[in-house]
Chain A
Amino acid sequence: MDKKRNQLYRTQIDQALATPKLQQALHQFGDTYLLARENAFAGLDFEALRTDISDMKDKVRDNLEHYLDEFCRNAEAAGATLYHAASAQQANDYIAQLAVTKGAKLVVKSKSMASEETHLNDALEKAGTRVLETDLGEWIIQLAGQRPSHMVMPAIHMFKEEIAELFGKETGQEEPAEIEHLVEVARQQLRQSYLDADIGITGANIAVAETGGIALVTNEGNARLTSTLPATHVVLVGIEKLVPTLEDAAKIVQVLPKNATGQLLTSYVTWIRGAVPSGDGTKDLHIVLLDNGRRTLAASPNCKAALNCIRCGACANVCPVYQTVGGHVFGHIYIGAIGIILTAFYHGLEHAAELVRACIGCRACVTVCPSKIDLESIILSLREQVGDAEGIGAGKALVFRKVMRNRKLFHSLIRAASLLQKPVTRGERTIRHLPLFFSSLTEWRTLPTVAEKPLRDLFDNLPQQVEQPRYKVALYGGCANDFIYPELGIDLVTVMNRLDIQVSYPKEQNCCGIPALYSGDKETAVEMAKQNIDALLKDDPDFVLTTCPTCTIALQRDFVEHLHDNPAWVDKARRLAAITVDAASFIVNQLQAADRFEGLPGPERVTYHDACHLKRGVGVWQEPRELIRATGAELVEMEHADRCCGFGGSYSFTSHPDISKNILNDKLKDIENSGADCVAMDCPGCLMQIRGGLEKQEKKTRAVHTIELLAERLKTKS
């Protein structure tokens, strides 16, 4: 790991966290955005629309040269000059040279992320041409000497007072900090430049192979002026913007504004093909087709889907990390989840090395992406690459490779930890304060202790009296259930026994490998997959139950992916995937036994927190709610029930504890505002985080696993 780079990054995080105004603005934006988006898509089938776009973009990506040829042929026939830029440098050189040849003194630009990517403005200024950004947000940040912090709203991080000051410097007089007034100042200031400029530069949202034309999707009208008034028009467009036909383009136009800002359509969609009339002659139209890493991305087996991005910016809008630190920290030039990936390919892996770890893995972005990109998985695979290139840190490497792969060693070390922690636990089940340099870990949440006896040691002594077991069920505890919350496993047995299910606990099971995988050590993860498959399938159970959704994903999905090209293992991995189910779904769907909890003592006001991996990974959110309602408790929904709690495993311990703390505080506020006495969830990780936060803040609301809640009710009854 690069120490200096890491330090700089840490400082940036601290600065961002010290700007609560920014956080508040981004949180608010996230809320209004989701509402507007929902209204914009009312009556439309988002899943169907995005499947369409994703399929179409797959086709283009896999036949890129074909569609590129078609586009170029048609554009040239319509009088455009085409230039293929392999790199940012080539694109900049071409455009700067053009400016020099034309003797251009002034270039007006409308918003183009591709030109941010290549740092085109610098290149033009160096060539002696003045560049003026005309998009309001871009102009603001140009005056401020900054870079965009959002791909659709570049100046989202700035406030009207700062903008008034910047504008005042331009106009030479004091400008009141009123938004409408400031917009008018921009109109007046920029107006003459469209008429004076020699060259207009735009990006393109879409390039249509069928016509050889481009489409610009905009609101302000500056792109229309930029492409109309100057005699020369340069379009800088990434080759991923290609679509085959006008129908395909129409589909993107239909979805893009709705998903970007919740608008039905932007004020303007402008279709431009070829050298159109201009003054007494025709426009000199240059189209610069930018590669700069795009072909490499298209060829990357694990990451290529990222090329399907239509740059709506939604993945940032809904991201809890983005909402906490903003795009200047959580991004390089491109920001948010897609930004991490594009940075790696367009600007180099080293610029993405910190960012790949900043993703907390909550998958909020995956559900809103109109191109159906599995951003989280791609970021994970990049994390592996960074892990391979830079190492994952000597400490971690030792733990994963030498310790976790050796189950007996791993488990005896955890047992030893249980003894070592004694001086700080004061005999309690949670640690409120840790000494010395560990103290920051318990500053904002208590931590559970490692249990004196893990579940595996307790299990055989549990009295299980089931006359006629309905199914043979094995419990996969995962580390948390086994070593931190063994009582959760015991509760599960209580509940299952009541439903005529006998539970076994295969002792050879090991950690699911996700911590290693998330840290970039895939090899260890694969080794753990094999150990677990053998352990869990040994007695041929009908089902394998889980209480932790991260483990569920590992068993249902990751093991199969790790071993898909290993003929000795793939069938076994598939078998395990097929019989793995989370406990709540098992009760509701397989056993259809929710009604068995009816009439139990209640009532309590319970709110439900959706664990990211359960809702967006496993696709389960209704079942636990059904069970809570069945117990007679009053279910009250909190705001943002499915927003991440900030846990993210090692994210909250080592990599980004400060961000984690902020996201947790958001969650605690939502819980408090719900007025519930109890918050239920189906993930030991969330439980650790939320229970720890509630305890530290001395809140009365208690946090429980849904299975604990059920067991509690059963016990009070009998």
Chain B
Amino acid sequence: MAESNLDLFIRVAEKASASVLQDCDTVFAATYISEHLTGTLLLPHSPSLQRLGIQDTLAQAGVNLVTGDVRQQAAAAGGGLTGANFGIADTGTIVLESTDEATRLASTLPEQHFVLLDPGKILVDGIAAVAPLRALHQRDARNFIAYITGPSRTADIERVLTIGVHGPKQLHILLLPGISDDPLEN
């Protein structure tokens, strides 16, 4: 039997050095984050995360949250938490519409990036991803859309692959079934 999109996504994302956690719920996600996070957590606005009420769960788990004006505190934060619009299986990629500046900061500056993705929103490949990519372009006049595959990396010194250069050093993808079925939201 052919590998499912989900299995393919997990296999390839892990190969790209992302950590992937399956079958999470809100409490598990909050606990996981609190256990792995060093420092404060940037939490930019995200519809799916808001519906989940993850902010409160995180606070209960003792996570030190930064909301609101993220820009001032972004550089000092330890991690960022975002949703994801959808995933791409054959490259193990998460797609994050991040036109909102806070979302961008949360996913670029800190050393850790935590992502909550609904496993039902995984498309097979980059060609299949064009439809939602175009829909996002049609919905918004201006866009900043990120395909993120594993943590930041470089091979610029002696061609040796080294994880974590300017962007996040860790990418944690937590799969939460049922949090969103709309690839246009994250």
Which of A183, A221, A268 counts the most chain B CB atoms within 10 A?
Answer: A221
Query: Which one of A129-137, A449-457, A530-538, A685-693 contacts B?
Result: A129-137
**With A187-B165, A224-B108, A268-B148 as given contacts, are A154 and B153 in contact (CB-CB < 8 Å)?**
no
Instruction: Check A134–B166 contact: CB distance below 8 A.
Output: yes
**How far does the alpha carbon of A155 sit from the alpha carbon of B143 in the complex, in Å?**
33
Q: Does B121 contact A (CB under 8 A)?
A: no
CA distance A29 to B159 in the complex (A): 8
Chain A residues near B134 (CB-CB < 8 A): 246
From B90, B142, B156, B168, A274 is in contact (CB under 8 Å) with: B142
Q: Quick check: is B79 within 8 A (CB to CB) of the other chain?
A: no
Given A268-B148, A276-B144, A279-B101, A160:B157 Cβ within 8 A: yes
Alpha-carbon distance A254/B126, docked complex (angstroms): 7
B58 interface hit (Cβ, 8 Å): no
Report the minimum CB–CB distance from A244 to chain B (whole Å). 13
Chain A residues in 8 Å Cβ range of B149: 264-268
* A202-216 contact mask (Cβ, 8 Å, vs B): 1 or 0: 000000001101000
Whether B126 pairs with A154 at a CB distance below 8 angstroms is: no
A596 CB to nearest B CB, Å: 47
> Is the Cβ of B141 less than 8 Å from the Cβ of A187?
no
Contact of A458 with B by CB under 8 A = no
Q: A680 interface residue, CB < 8 Å from B?
A: no
Closest Cβ neighbor of A137 among chain B residues: B156
Least Cβ distance of A217 to chain B in Å?
9
Q: Please give, as numbers and ranges, the residues of chain B lying within 8 Å of A497 by CB-CB distance.
A: none
A471 lies within 8 A of chain B by Cβ: no
Majority secondary structure of chain B interface residues (helix, strand, loop or mixed): loop
- Distance in angstroms between the alpha carbons of A137 and B16 in the assembled complex: 21
- CB contacts under 8 Å to B, within A89-114, are none
Q: Does A275 belong to the interface (CB within 8 Å)? A: yes
Mind listing 10 A-B residue pairs with CB under 8 Å? A29-B159, A179-B160, A220-B153, A247-B130, A265-B93, A267-B16, A268-B148, A269-B93, A276-B99, A278-B101
Query: Who on chain B is nearest to A271 by CB?
Result: B145
The answer to whether A187 touches B166, judged by C-beta atoms less than 8 angstroms apart, is yes
Distance of A648 Cα from B32 Cα, bound (Å): 62
> Shortest beta-carbon distance, B70 to chain A, in Å?
11
A180 at the interface (CB under 8 A from B): yes
Residues of the A chain whose Cβ atoms lie less than 8 Å from the Cβ of B12: 264
Residue A191 at the B interface, CB < 8 A? yes
Q: Within 8 Å of chain A (Cβ to Cβ): is B71?
A: yes
Asked if B133 is at the interface (CB within 8 A of a chain A CB), the reply is yes
Tell me if B109 is interfacial: C-beta within 8 Å of chain A.
yes
A225 touching B109 by the CB < 8 A rule? yes
Asked if residues B167 and A224 are in contact (CB atoms below 8 Å), the reply is yes
Say how far B90's CB is from chain A's closest CB, in angstroms. Answer: 7
In the complex, are the beta carbons of A220 and B152 less than 8 A apart? yes
Q: Is the CB of B167 within 8 A of A265?
A: no
Which single member of B92, B127, B144, B162 contacts A250 (CB below 8 Å)?
B127
Known contacts A79-B142, A271-B143, A275-B142; is A221 also within 8 Å of B168 by CB? Answer: yes
Which single member of B105, B127, B152, B155 contacts A153 (CB below 8 Å)?
A: B155
Add 19 more A-B contacts to A140-B156, A220-B156 (CB < 8 A): A79-B141, A136-B165, A137-B154, A160-B157, A163-B157, A179-B157, A186-B166, A220-B153, A228-B105, A246-B137, A253-B126, A264-B91, A265-B93, A266-B149, A268-B146, A273-B144, A276-B143, A277-B99, A279-B101
User: Distance in Å from the Cβ of B89 to the closest Cβ of chain A?
Assistant: 11
Q: Contact between B129 and A183 (Cβ–Cβ < 8 Å)?
A: no
Q: Is B172 an interface residue (CB 8 A)?
A: no
* A225→B167 contact, CB < 8 A: yes
Measured between beta carbons, the chain B residues less than 8 angstroms from A253 are 126, 147
Chain A contacts for B91, CB-based, 8 A: 264-265
Say yes or no: A153-B109 contact (C-beta < 8 A), given A220-B166, A269-B146, A275-B142.
no
Is A261 among interface residues, defined by CB-CB distance under 8 A?
A: yes
Smallest CB–CB gap between B123 and chain A, Å? 11
Most buried by A among B141, B149, B150, B154: B154
Which chain A residue lies CB-closest to B134?
A246
CB within 8 Å of A: which of B1-37? 12, 16
In the docked arrangement, what's the CA distance between A276 and B99, Å? 6
Q: Is the CB of A250 within 8 A of B126?
A: yes
In the complex, A182 has a CB within 8 A of chain B = yes
Let me know if A155 and B137 touch, CB within 8 A.
no
**Complex alpha-carbon distance, A258 and B152, angstroms:** 17
Residues of B close to A267: CB separation below 8 A: 16, 148-153, 167
Kindly state whether residue A419 has any CB partner on chain B within 8 Å: no
**Which of A153, A156, A268 touches B167 (beta carbons < 8 Å)?**
A268
Residue numbers in B under 8 Å from A272 (CB-CB) = 143-145
Inter-chain CA distance A156–B75, complex, in Å, is: 31
CB-CB under 8 A from B164, the residues of chain A are 183, 187
